[in-house]
Structure 1
Amino acid sequence: MSNEKNLNRLNQELETLPPLVHEYVQAKSIVPYSLVTLYEYAKEFRRFFEWLVAESVVQVEISYISISDLEKLKKEDMDLYKSYLMSSPRQGTTQDGGLRSHVTIQRAITALRSLFHYLANQTEDNKGKPYLSQNVMLKIDNVKTGRTLQDRSRAIEKKILIGSESVAFLEYINHDYEATLTSHQAVHAFRRNKERDLAIIALFLGTGIRLSELVNMKISDLDIHNMEATVIRKGGFRDTTMISSMFMDHITTYYHAREKLYQPDQREKSLFLTTYKQEAKRIDQSTVEKLVSKYSASFKTKMTPHKLRHTVGTQLYKNTNSLLTVSHQLGQTGTSATSLYTHIVDKEKRDAINDLWQN
């Protein structure tokens, strides 16, 4: 989905939300958070405020909910809302009537945690104090998935590239994918963007960066000589990540061909481009998601950019046995998220199990 559509959807949500949310969105737009994230968060804020009104926790309309209303919230209120999310049926989706997934509920908690953290720590009233004197979300736990790390890792293992498959994937796109196309139009489109698409896949597999980090890169953020990429991580901080030499050829090829391929205006500094109405523009997230999906589905199984990130995390852990190294490469502030990779069964473990009872 284009940035313009995401911005329109976000603005529609903001029409009914109180000024405190508008201020939050403005602050996080500067960080920057992606428009997709802000839109999803705005939906969660609206859902929460609707619940506050419906349950008479607040006595005003949504657009008039104030800091003082949020200041009065207690842990009991937030636990009740969490229980509501876990037990009430979904509405307005293709699966009406079913319970929300743990991922959906956790997203709601994450969104509220971000809002309350902002109001309690990153704001300042006319007396120099934060808007909220206490953050009730600090007392609210994450949602437990009901699945072990081993179970989650086994599910992920089937949907990522293992070992040499990453290199084979790029070779497949480069040499074999075109033969699967059945129309001249598809072949033409593939050839036109082939160098770019290979570079995108190579950069994902060579760094493990996030989708938003890739599409927001400028041409100046790519350091070919030192094999490094500068990205804006979650939270808005700049970080320089190393690129595996294994994938530099495709990235370098596109880097030198970018201007000839897309003939961008000198003011267009985005690294990855697409042509829209005969004009070079920054590629959007949905386009990248689609190209990763079509190539991976043809090669092995349909994947997302996030699965390519899991691929890098898994392979890096197998090679280093260091969660700290993985967390640094992936731009994570701790190792808890990367502990998943310790449970992914690699070839050595599988061979050991297979040979366990051999004489």
Structure 2
Amino acid sequence: MRAEKYAKLVDKQLQSLPKYVYYYAQQPNLAISTVYQYLSEYARFFTWLRETPEDFENPSGATISSAKSNKEMSLSVLEHLKVTQVQQYLQERRMSENRQSTGDSKVTLNRTINALRSLFHYLTVVADLNDGEPYFYRNVMLKIPLYKGVKESIAYRNAKYGPQLYMNNKKFEWIDFINNDYVNTLSAHAVPYFNKNKERDLAIIALLLATGVRVSELVNLNLKDLNLREKSIIVVRKGDKKDAALIADWAIPYINGYLNIRESRYNPQKQQKALFLTLQRGIGQRITSKTIEVFVNKYSIAFPNGSRTTPHKLRHSLGTEIYDKSKDVVAVATQLGHTGLSATDQYIQQSSEDKQRKILNQTTESHSGKPN
């Protein structure tokens, strides 16, 4: 999603939130996408404060906040929040069912905690609109720890995620399957829809595998961001930082194949700048991340020699493959747009599996017997 679209969504959310949240959102060190996610967290938390009894043993009594709307949420309520109340909110989030019929994961809850920590830090330390003083000084979020995650060994991660990676010949076999054989798995009713989007889907999968960009970065690409001569694309990374990602040579024919049919098949209006399109009411519109996630899932499930995967695992595929061939963590970080080298550890771990297996197999080289 482009920054201008996030800005519109942020402005809409701020209209239903208190003034102090508006001032919080104006901080220059916050990425617009982060602000959007955090505002959603605040809206949900404020709604809970307005609907939850102050005394859980007396459900019919007064609620934690008497505000009639989130916009009227008083600073006094936040200042005097109890640790037990925040813990109750998190516990309810963890136990309540979401769209997947499960409670929020520890990762999701930690995102909520970090969002609230950020707001409370602003209110108690950064803000100086109260005659040069913060709004209040008591920060209940300092007493709320993050959830500790379940640790996974390298071997477990490799066994869990390895089948979802598409590297070396496997990625070419998968693309060849989509190009030539996938249609044979479809009903007659589904064939026309697949044929309409075939070149686009192949180009997107090729670009994900050949650049390692995030799916959010890919959907935001405009035509002008693609440089076929230099075989590169201009992407906006996290924190709204622009970067140039190189495209592996093998993907160029698939991109050209899509460009050749982009206008005739998707009928974009002249002002439509998006590189990848989807048809909506006969007009080409910017494709969404959800659309890409759906067809990547669909094609990978149908592939006989593969496993279900996601756009993010395609990014991991390239990172692992680059490290496997180069043993150069800087090359991985540069291609994937990492700001530090610590994020490359997962690719080093994945690449180490083959080496570990070779070492293990050496322990049997002198054994000539056969199992009983």
TM-score interval (norm. to shorter): 0.7 to 0.9
SS of 1:33 mapped into structure 2? helix
CA separation in 2, counterparts of 1:132 and 1:286? Answer: 41
Which stretch shows the higher mean deviation, 337-346 or 270-279?
Answer: 337-346
1:210 equivalenced with 2:217 (yes/no): no
Q: Among residues 159, 163, 174, which one is paired with 1:154 in the alignment?
A: 159
**Counterpart amino acid of residue 276 in structure 2:** F
Instruction: Provide the aligned length of Structure 1 versus Structure 2.
Output: 345
Larger of the two Rg values belongs to structure: 2
Q: Which runs of 5+ in 1 are unaligned?
A: 1-5
CA separation in 2, counterparts of 1:330 and 1:122? Answer: 33
**Counterpart amino acid of residue 33 in structure 1:** S
Cα distance per residue 1:121-164 (max 9 Å; x no partner): 99885999998999987997653312235233432213222432
Counterpart of 1:297 in structure 2 is: 301
Counterpart of 1:357 in structure 2 is: 364
Correspondences of 1:7-26 after superposition (within 5 Å) = 17-21=17-21
1:81 equivalenced with 2:89 (yes/no): no
CA separation in 2, counterparts of 1:206 and 1:138? Answer: 43
CA separation in 1, counterparts of 2:122 and 2:181? Answer: 49
Counterpart of 1:3 in structure 2 is: none
Scaled by the length of structure 1, the TM-score of the pair is 0.77
**Counterpart amino acid of residue 159 in structure 1:** Q
- Residues 174, 45 of structure 1: alpha-carbon distance in 2 compared, 3 angstrom cutoff: same
- Residues 314, 288 of structure 1: alpha-carbon distance in 2 compared, 3 angstrom cutoff: same
Kept in 1, the 8 Å contact 2:94–2:109? The answer is no
**Counterpart amino acid of residue 337 in structure 2:** G
CA separation in 2, counterparts of 1:329 and 1:137? Answer: 37
Q: Among residues 45, 48, 60, which one is paired with 1:48 in the alignment?
A: 45
1:324 equivalenced with 2:330 (yes/no): yes
**Counterpart amino acid of residue 193 in structure 1:** N
Counterpart of 2:71 in structure 1 is: 63
Counterpart of 2:262 in structure 1 is: 258
Counterpart of 1:220 in structure 2 is: 224
Kept in 2, the 8 Å contact 1:113–1:137? The answer is yes
Cα distance per residue 1:84-115 (max 9 Å; x no partner): 6268642253576x654222212223434565
Kept in 2, the 8 Å contact 1:149–1:340? The answer is no
Scaled by the length of structure 2, the TM-score of the pair is 0.75
CA separation in 2, counterparts of 1:163 and 1:348? Answer: 16
Which stretch shows the higher mean deviation, 264-273 or 326-335?
Answer: 326-335
**Counterpart amino acid of residue 176 in structure 1:** D
- Residues 7, 303 of structure 1: alpha-carbon distance in 2 compared, 3 angstrom cutoff: farther
CA separation in 2, counterparts of 1:217 and 1:146? Answer: 36
Cα distance per residue 1:279-312 (max 9 Å; x no partner): 1111122211111111111112222211111212
CA separation in 2, counterparts of 1:247 and 1:119? Answer: 49
CA RMSD of aligned residues (A): 4.1
Correspondences of 1:174-189 after superposition (within 5 Å) = 174-183=179-188, 185-189=189-193
- Residues 211, 49 of structure 1: alpha-carbon distance in 2 compared, 3 angstrom cutoff: same
CA separation in 2, counterparts of 1:73 and 1:250? Answer: 59
Which stretch shows the higher mean deviation, 268-277 or 136-145?
Answer: 136-145
SS of 2:213 mapped into structure 1? coil
**Per-residue deviation, 1:331:** 1.9
Which stretch shows the higher mean deviation, 331-340 or 14-23?
Answer: 14-23
**Per-residue deviation, 1:339:** 1.5
**Per-residue deviation, 1:42:** 3.8
Q: Among residues 131, 149, 153, which one is paired with 1:145 in the alignment?
A: 149
Which stretch shows the higher mean deviation, 137-146 or 345-354?
Answer: 137-146
Kept in 2, the 8 Å contact 1:153–1:340? The answer is no
CA separation in 2, counterparts of 1:227 and 1:124? Answer: 49
Q: Which runs of 5+ in 2 are unaligned?
A: 1-5, 55-62, 367-372
- Residues 335, 27 of structure 1: alpha-carbon distance in 2 compared, 3 angstrom cutoff: same
Kept in 2, the 8 Å contact 1:149–1:343? The answer is no
Which stretch shows the higher mean deviation, 105-114 or 137-146?
Answer: 137-146
Counterpart of 2:276 in structure 1 is: 272
Counterpart of 1:169 in structure 2 is: 174
**Per-residue deviation, 1:168:** 1.7
Kept in 1, the 8 Å contact 2:212–2:315? The answer is yes
**Counterpart amino acid of residue 234 in structure 1:** K
CA separation in 1, counterparts of 2:332 and 2:137? Answer: 36
**Per-residue deviation, 1:271:** 0.2
- Residues 319, 52 of structure 1: alpha-carbon distance in 2 compared, 3 angstrom cutoff: farther
**Per-residue deviation, 1:9:** 9.7
- Residues 179, 112 of structure 1: alpha-carbon distance in 2 compared, 3 angstrom cutoff: same
SS of 1:229 mapped into structure 2? strand
**Per-residue deviation, 1:196:** 0.9
SS of 1:164 mapped into structure 2? helix
- Residues 99, 91 of structure 1: alpha-carbon distance in 2 compared, 3 angstrom cutoff: closer
**Counterpart amino acid of residue 312 in structure 1:** L
